[in-house]
Structure 1
Amino acid sequence: MHEEAYPAPGSRAELERFALLQGRLSDLFRRVFPDPKAPRCVLVNPSLSMDPEVLVSIAGLPHYEERLLCMLLLLRLPRTRVVYVTSTPIDPAIVDYYLHLLPGIPGAHARRRLTMLSCQDPSTRLTLTQKLLARPRMLQRLREAIGDPAIAHMTCFNATEAERSLAVRLGIPIFANDPALEHLGSKSGSRRIFKEAGVLLPEGFEDLRDMQDVAQSLATLKAREPDLRRATVKLDFGTSGEGNAVFDFAGAPDGGGLERWVREVQPKRLCFEDRSMGYERYAEKFAQMHGIVEVWIEGAVKRSPSAQCRITPLGEVEMISTHDQVLGGPSGQIFLGCTFPADAAYRLQIQSAGLEVAKVLREQGALGRFAVDFVSVRCDGEGDGENWRHYAIEVNLRKGGTTHTFRILQFLTDGAYDPDTGRFMTPTGAVRVYKASDNLRSEHYMRLTPDDLMDIAVEHGLHFNASTQEGVFFHLIGALSGFGKLGIVCVSDTPEHASALFDRTVSILDEESSHA
C-alpha cells in the first residue's frame, strides 16, 4: 500500500483504524504475553515525543534513545524477535554489552532475532517518530522486519498522535496509553485525577492559561496561607522537572496590593529548573501548554518517592514497584536517579496511594505503564515511630526514569515484585535492591569510549554476576564520549551494599578517567 493510501493523521478514518488495532491487544495479552515460547515481535520505538524546547537542556539527549535498550533483554525468550529503531546507529559494542548479559541464551542466537534500524538522522528538529513517518522506504523496511503483524506490537517511551499514525501505517497496536487521553498525564490532569482518587495533594490551582492566571493564583495561595514562603509553577507537559519554576514570597505585602506586587516581581522572582530558560520564553511556553501553581511543600525531612503501576489490556491494575527518587537542580525538582525499593517506613503507603490513582485512570481508559510521584514529609511527634505525610504531585503517563532500571533488574534476575511486602524477590527467594543514576557526569568521562568502559569494567569486576545476582549494569553508554555522561544500576542484597557498590563504581570511573 502506498503511503498516500493511509488515512490522514488525526482523521476520523485513522482514529477508527487505530481503535481496531488496539483491540488486538487483549488477545495478545491472553494468548502471547503469558507464554515465554510463543512467537512474537516487539517494535521498540524510543522516541521522546515531547516539546523539543522543554527537552533541549538535557545533556546527551540524542542518546536517550538508548534507555529502552533494556527491551533487548526480551530476547531471552527464545522465539521473540525485537526490532529496535533509532535516529542514528548505536555503537555495536553497546549492543553486544546487552546481549552478553542474556541468561541462558547464546549471543549469536539472540542477535539473529534482533533487527537494528536507523534513520541516519542526528537532527533534533523532528522526533524519532516524525523522522520515521517522513521516510516511506524506512516504513517499508520496518514492515518487512516486523513480519506477521498479528503477533506484533509497538512499545514506546510515550504515545502521541505521531505514534498513533506510525502504528496505523505499520498495522500493529501500541502497548501504551491512547494519545487521545494524553491530558490525563498533564500536571492539570494529574491534579484532577488525585482529587477523584481521594489522595492528598498540595493546595493549588490547575488549568491556568497564562502568566496573569499564575500571578492571580500565587496571590490567592499567599492570602489563604500568610506564612507561605514559596510556591511552584509547572508547565502542563514539562518532563523530568525541566518545566518547573519556584516563586519566593519574601517581602510580600501583608495587606492589599498582593496580586499587583506578584505581577510586578514575577519576572525576576521565578527561579527556573531549566537554567537556560528566561521569563519571556517561559511565559510563551506557558501560554501554549498551560499549567498549574501549587504550594511548595516544606519540611525538615523530605523525600520524593514514586509508585509504578501498569494497566493491562484486560483492565487489570498491577503494582510494579516503588522507588525513592534522587533529585537535583536549583530547587531539587530534576530527576537524577533512584533507589529501589522506596523506604520501608512508607513504601506500602505509597503503593496504596498509587493503586487508588491507578483505579481512576483505568476508569478513564488509560493503558500501560505509568508512575505517580509524591513529595513526602516526615511528621515528627505525630504518634509512635516514623510518620510521613505524602502529597501526590504528578502522574507520568508514560515510561519514565525508573522504567528501564527496574526492567533491567527483572530481566537480569528473572525475579518478581512482591506487592505484599514491597520487595523484589529472585527465584531462589533472595531479596534484591538497587541504586541507580541516569546522570553520572564528569568532563573526564569524555576521554573514554564505550570500549574503554568495557575494559575498565572487566579489570575492576564492575559487571553483573549471574551466579550471585549482584553487580553493576551500565546504560546510556553512548553519551559517554560526547557528553561525559553515563547511567549505572548497582544491584545488591541490601540498600547499604547497593550504595557502597555505587560509590565504589563512581570512584573507579573517576580515577580511571582522570588518567586516561
Structure 2
Amino acid sequence: MSDIPHKRDELGRILVQVRNDLTELRKRLGRTAVREQGQTLDIDALDAAISRTEDGIKTRAEEYLKTVNKQVLTLPIIEDLEKKTKKIAKWRPPLETIPDMRPQKYLTAGASPGEKHKAAFTMRLLYNPAHPKNRELMHQAYGIQFPDLRKKTGTTVSIASLVEKGLPPSVADLCLVRTPVKPKVTYLHQREGGSPNRIGQMHSILPVHSSSTLFCFVCAQCAPALPPAPVSKHCFNIVGGQIDPCAADFCTFKEHYCLCWGPLVEVLWQLERLMREYAVPHARVCGERLVALVQSGELDWGSGDMEQLLLTLENKEEVWELVKQPGQRYKGEGGRQAAAVRIQACWRRHQARTAYLEKQRRKWAAGTIAISWLLHAQVRRVRKSLQVTRLRHLENYRSRAEVRRTHIHTPQQRRSLQGFDILQNTQMGRLCDVKDENVEVIYVCPVQLGEDLLHYYTQLLGLQGAVETGEPTALPASCTKRFTILTPEAYQYFPSHKMCVSTLLKYSPHTLQRIKYLIQGKQAYLVSGVPHIDDLAVADELGVPVLGPEPAVAQLYGTKSGVRRIFTSAGVSVPPGHGDIYTLQQLHECLAQLMTDHLQVQCWLFKMDGEVGSRGTAYCDVSHLSFRPWALQEYHCRGPQLWRMAWAQEPVLLKCLEAVPALLASHAKPFNTSCYPTWTCFIEHFLKQGGVIEACPPSDSVTCLTVDLLVEPGGEVNMLSCGDQLHGPGGLQVAGYTVPQTSVSSDTLYSICMRVGHACQQRRILGYLSLDLVTFLEPSSLEQQVWAVDLDIGYSNQLAMTQLMLLMTGGTLSYRTGRLEVPPPVRANKPTARQKVPASVTTRFAVMSSQLLHTNLSMVRYSVFFQMCKAQGIGFDIKERQGSVFALHDSVERSSLSMVTISPDLQGALLTFARNLSVIHQEISAPNMQGETNFKNACLLCVVINNMTSLC
C-alpha cells in the first residue's frame, strides 16, 4: 500500500506534462505553414482541436487532484497488489515529429462543404461512445479495439492505454467504458483481531475490487447518475449514535451505492455525529433519501443543515420531538463543553450588550447635553438681544415724556377673554377725543370695520356742530376730518391667535408706515389699553412716547396684591385681607387669622392676581360655623382692645385653623362657574397665579363706584369720569354705570382720588387709571365707610362711554359739585321781561353700558336696526340734549353694542334704558327664538334701582 500514493502522484505529473506538451505543440503549429499544391493547411482547425484536448486535460487534472485529496479510492486485493499493478506509461512525444495533416482533407482550408460535413459527423461519432459506429470508427482511426458494449464483459480500458494509442485525453475520457461488474468487497480495519470500527471513521473502511475492476475516482459533483432504486429503500439503523458496519441492512446499502460511496461517507459521519450530540437512542435512515440528498448538492457543511439530515430518517417525527426538547443538545456527546460554550457566549453577549447600551446611553446623554447647551446658548443670545432692544425702547420712552397732541389709541384688553377682538373694540368712544379742536385721533381697530360702521361714526362725530349750536340742521363739524380708523394687516395672518392690538400693529409694517405718514411733523403720543411690552416696540418704531407706565411697573402693581400695597401707602381704607398668597397652607393660616381678627365679617372673597372682573373671584360664607356664636361671645367678653392680644385670640384661632380646610371644601364657591366650575379647579389656578383674601362689607346695602383718573407726566392728577356701578345677578359683575355718581360726597371722593393718584405718580405709574370703591354704613356706628378695592391701569370702558356722552351733550362733568352740567335747551323765542331768565346750565343724568349682548342682533343689518329704533321712538334730541346713543363694535358678528341714555333725572335715564332694551328685544326676537342675551337682567336691574331711588 505504500506504493499507491506514489503512483497517484506519478499519474498527476503525467497529466500535467501532457497539458504542457499540448501547449508547446500549439505554439509551434502557429509558426508552421503546411502547403499542398498551392493550398494552405487549415491550422486553425487543428489549433481548435488541440485547445479542446488541452481543456479536457486541464479539467481531468483538476478532478484528479480533488479526487486524490477528498475521495476514497478503490484498491486491489492486498496480497495481489504487486502482481496486478501495471506501470503507467509516461507521455513524452517528440516535438519534432508532428503528424502529417495533409491526408486529412477535412482539416484543410480548401475542403469542400460535403467533406466538412462528413468530418464534423465523424468527430461527433468519436465523441459519442454510446453510438453503435463509435467502436468501428475508433478502430479505423486509431487502431483501438473496444469491447462490444452489447455483450457483458468485465474487460476495461484505462485512460493511459487510450493515450498511448494516440487518442487525445479528452476523447479518451469520453470513450472510456465503465462496465457494470459487481465488485468483490472486503474491508480493512485499523487493528488486527479487533472488531470493526464505527462508521464515524469510515475513511479507513474501503471496498476492494477484483483485478478486472477499473479505478473509479468519483466526487459529489461528477458522480454518475444512479440507476432507479429497487423497491427496497435500503434502510439501516443508527443505534446509540453509531452505525454497525457488519449489519446486513447497512452492508446491502453500501454494496448497492458503492460507486458513489465517497460523498456518502461524509454524510453518514455527519448524521452519526448529530445522533450522538443529541443523544438519540435509535434512528432509522432511508438510504434512498440519503443518496438523493447527496446528489442534489443542497447540503451546506458550513452551517450544518440539521433539518435536511433529519428528513432522511424514517422516524423523523420521533427524532425531531426529541431533538427540539430544551437542553437535549447538552445530554449527548460533548454536551458539557457545548453548555460551557453557550454559557460563555451568553455571558459575553450580555457583557457586550451591556457595554453597548452603556455606550449608547452615554452617547445619547452627550448629544442631549450638547443640544441643550446649544439651545441654551441660542436662547441666551436671543434673550440678551431682546433685553438690549427693550432697554432701548424704555430709554426712548423715558426721553419722550412730554405730552403731545395727536392721540394714537390701541384699545387692547386681557388675552384670556372670549370674543377677544370684539371686546378690544368696545372702546370706540375714544374717537370722541376729537371734540377738542386741537386733537386728532388715530384709532387702531383690532377688527375690520365695514362701510356701514365707518359711515355711522362719521355721521355721529359730525353732530358736534349741531350739538354746539342746538340746531339739528347745522353743517357737519370739521372733526370728521380729524380722525382715522386703521386695521393692522396682521390680523389676517393670525386669525386664531389672541394677540393684543400692539402686537398686531408690531407685525404690520404697512399700517406702521401709514401712521408715520399721518403723524409726520406733528406732536403725538400713544394711548394703549392694558400696558404691554409691545407698546414700547410700536412707540419706538413710530418715534412717539407712550402715555402709560413701564410694562414692568404695570405688571408689578397691576395685580390685586400690588394694588393693596398702593392703597396702603396712599393711606386710604382697604377691606381687611391679606395678599401675596401662593400656597395652600398659607391660605389656610391667613384665612383663620382674618376670621379671628374680624368676627363680624360673614363672607370672605378670594381674588386672583391676574384676573379682571368676577372671572377670578370666589367667596366663602362663614356665618354657619358651629363655633361662631361661642367665638362672638368670647369677643364681646374680652372687648375690642383686649381682643387684639394674641393670648386672647388663641382658643378661637385654633378652632378656626382646624375648621378652615373643611369649610373651604364644602362652602367655597367661584362666582363665574363658566371659567372655574368647582372650588378645586379655582384653587389650583389661584395658587399658580397668587392672590388675595378680602372681606366683604359687613352690610346688606353696598354701593360700588368707579372713578377714572389721568396721572400726567408732570405730576398732575385729573378726575375724568365717575359713576355708580350697576351689578348683574351675581353681585360682582359690572353691567353698566350711572353718571354722575351719587354715593359718596364730592370732597371725600376727591380726597381719596388725589391720594391714590399721587401714590401712583411716585411709583412712575402714569396715564389712565380706573379706581374701584365700595361704600356702606358701618353696622355698629352707622357711619359711611369707603374702601378702595381695585385699581386697573389703562383706559376703561366707562371713560370711553363718558367721552361719547360729553360729545353728544356738549357738557362737562364737575367733580367738585358731582354734577353733569350741559348748556340749556335752545328756545326759538327770546324770553320777555316778565319771563324768568333761563339758567346758564342744566343738569343731566346718564345710564351707560358697553357690554350689551344679544345673539339675534346678528340677523339684523345696522340700517334696519336704526330704522326700527326710529319707528319705536328711540333716538337723541339734540335741542333737549337727551335721548339714546349707540356705539357699534363690529360689522361681522353684530351681536354686541354699547348704549347711553341721557335724561334730566336719574329715574328717567333708568326707565329709558330699560324701555329701549325691552323694545329691541321684542323687535328682534320671536317666541320660539329668544336668543342668548343679557337684556333681561339689565332691564330688571334698572327697574329695581329706579324703585329704590324713588323710595329714597
**TM-score normalised by the chain length of structure 2:** 0.48
Tell me by how many angstroms 1:373 deviates. 0.9
Whole-angstrom CA distance in 1 between matches of 2:810 and 2:399: 30
Match of 1:292 in 2: 692
Distance of aligned partners of 1:207 and 1:136 in 2 relative to their CA distance in 1, 3 Å threshold: same
Is residue 706–residue 772 contact of structure 2 (8 Å, CA) maintained in 1? yes
Contact in 1 for aligned 2:422/2:447 (Cα 8 Å) = no
Q: CA deviation at 1:307?
A: 2.2
- Which deviations, in whole Å up to 9, do the C-alpha atoms of 1:252-283 show, x marking residues without a partner? 46353533532344345332222221445433
Match of 2:777 in 1: 378
Cα-to-partner distance string for 1:226-264 (whole Å, 9 max, x where unaligned) = 343210010112112221111222554635353353234
Find the aligned partners of 1:85 and 1:483 in 2 and give their Cα distance.
19
**Alpha-carbon spacing, 1:142–1:320, altered in 2? closer, same or farther (3 Å):** same
Q: 1:346 aligns with which of 745, 748, 752?
A: 745
Highest CA radius of gyration, 1 or 2? 2
Q: Which residue of 2 aligns with 1:209?
A: 582
Secondary structure of the corresponding residue to residue 478 of structure 1 = coil
| 1:34-53: CA deviation from partner (whole Å, max 9, x where unpaired) | xxxxxx3x3221121x341x
TM superposition shift of 1:409: 1.7
Matched, 1:357 2:756: yes
Cα distance change, pair 79–499 in 1 and its aligned pair in 2 (3 A)? same
Q: Could you tell me how far 1:393 is from its partner in structure 2?
A: 0.6
Aligned pair partner of 1:74 in 422, 425, 433? 433
CA contact (8 A) 2:447 2:890 kept: no
Contact 2:425 2:447 in 1 (8 A): no
2:818 paired residue among 391, 398, 422: 422
For 1:78 and 1:197, how far apart are their aligned partners in 2?
A: 36
Q: Please say if residues 43 and 82 of structure 1, whose CA atoms lie closer than 8 Å, have aligned partners that are also in contact.
A: yes
User: Residues of 2 paired with 1:99 and 1:295: CA distance?
Assistant: 47
CA distance in 2, matches of 1:320, 1:83: 21
Residue of 518, 531, 536 corresponding to 1:164: 536
Residues in 2 aligned to 1:74 and 1:359: alpha-carbon distance in whole angstroms: 25
Decide which moves more: 13-22 or 298-307. 13-22
Helix, strand or coil for the counterpart of 2:816? coil
Q: Distance in 1 between matches of 2:521 and 2:545?
A: 9
Q: Does structure 1 retain, via aligned residues, the 8 Å contact 2:746–2:816?
A: no
Q: Mark the CA change 1:379 to 1:217 in structure 2 (over 3 Å): closer, same or farther.
A: closer
1:116 equivalent in alignment to 2:483: no
Q: How does 1:42-441 map to 2 (within 5 A)?
A: 42-48=407-413, 50-52=414-416, 55-56=417-418, 60-76=419-435, 80-102=439-461, 103-104=464-465, 106=476, 110=480, 113-118=483-488, 119-120=491-492, 121-133=494-506, 135-138=507-510, 140-148=512-520, 151-182=523-554, 183-252=556-625, 254=627, 256=654, 258-276=656-674, 277-278=676-677, 279-330=679-730, 332-343=731-742, 346-379=745-778, 382=781, 387-428=783-824, 429-441=841-853
- CA distance, structure 2, for counterparts of residue 505 and residue 349 of structure 1: 35
Aligned equivalent of 2:168: none
Partner of 1:499: 910
Following the alignment from structure 1 to structure 2, what is the Cα–Cα distance between the partners of residues 87 and 8?
31
Distance change in 2, residues 1:272/1:75 (3 Å): same
Query: Where do 5+ consecutive residues of structure 1 fail to align?
Result: 1-5, 33-39
Could you say which structure has the greater relative contact order, defined with CA pairs below 8 angstroms and 6 or more residues apart? 1
191 and 77 in structure 1: CA distance in 2 versus 1, 3 angstrom threshold: closer
Q: Which residue of 1 aligns with 2:866?
A: 454
Task: Give the fraction of aligned pairs with identical amino acids, expressed as a percent.
Answer: 20
Check whether the contact 2:744–2:775 (CA below 8 A) recurs between aligned residues.
no
**SS of residue paired to 2:847:** strand
Report how far residue 306 of structure 1 moved. Answer: 2.2
Displacement, 1:72?
A: 1.9
Q: Structure 1 CA distance, aligned partners of 2:385 and 2:536? A: 8
SS in 2 for 1:11: helix
Task: Name the CA shift for 1:140/1:26 in 2 (closer, same or farther; >3 Å).
Answer: closer
Q: Deviation digits for residues 79-137 of structure 1, max 9, x if unmatched?
A: 7543322332023322322221221273897258524224235424333322333x253
Counterpart CA distance in 1 for 2:803 and 2:668 is 37
| Preserved CA contact (<8 Å) 2:709 2:717 | yes
Measured in 2, the distance between the counterparts of 1:51 and 1:68 equals 16
Q: If each structure's helix is expressed as a fraction of its own residues, which one has the higher value? A: 2
The answer for the alignment partner of 2:160 in structure 1 is none
Q: How many angstroms does 1:489 deviate by?
A: 0.9
SS at match of 2:789: strand
Residue 434 of structure 1, CA deviation: 0.5
Aligned length: 488
Distance 1:366 1:109 in 2: 31
Aligned 8 A contact 1:438 1:476 in 2? no
Q: SS in structure 1 opposite 2:874?
A: coil
Cα distance, 1:61–1:378 mapped onto 2, change above 3 Å? farther
Change (3 A) 1:389 1:469: same
Give distance in 1, aligned partners of 2:626 and 2:717.
48
1:508 matched to 2:867: no
SS, match of residue 300 in structure 1? coil
- Structure 2 letter corresponding to 1:247: C
Counterpart position of 2:934: none
| One-letter amino acid matched to 2:773 | F
Q: Distance in 1 between matches of 2:482 and 2:705?
A: 40
271-280 or 191-200, larger mean C-alpha shift: 271-280
Contact 1:211 1:286 in 2 (8 A): no
Q: CA deviation at 1:221?
A: 1.2
Distance 1:73 1:117 in 2: 18
Contact 2:742 2:818 in 1 (8 A): no
SS state of the match for residue 297, structure 1? coil
Alignment match, 2:397: 21
Mark the CA change 1:264 to 1:344 in structure 2 (over 3 Å): closer, same or farther: closer
- Paired residue for 2:897? 486
In the TM superposition, what is the alpha-carbon distance from 1:359 to its structure 2 partner? Answer: 1.8
Q: Which structure features the higher share of strand residues? A: 1
Aligned match of 1:3: none
Match of 2:38 in 1: none
Q: Which moved more, 1:190-199 or 1:72-81?
A: 72-81
Please tell me the residue identity of whatever aligns with 2:756. V
* d(CA) in 1 for partners of 2:734, 2:698: 19
Paired amino acid for 2:442? V
Q: Which amino acid aligns with 1:414?
A: G
Q: Which runs of 5+ in 2 are unaligned?
A: 1-381, 466-474, 628-651, 825-840, 930-952
Q: Mean alpha-carbon deviation: is it higher for 184-193 or for 82-91?
A: 82-91
Report Cα offsets for 1:159-180 as digits up to 9, x if no partner.
1222222222332212223223
Check whether the contact 1:326–1:338 (CA below 8 A) recurs between aligned residues. yes
Amino acid at match of 2:718: E
Q: Give the drift of 1:513.
A: 1.4
Classify the secondary structure of the residue corresponding to 2:672: coil
Aligned partner letter, 2:848: A
Mean Cα deviation higher: 421-430 or 345-354: 345-354
SS in 1 for 2:850: strand
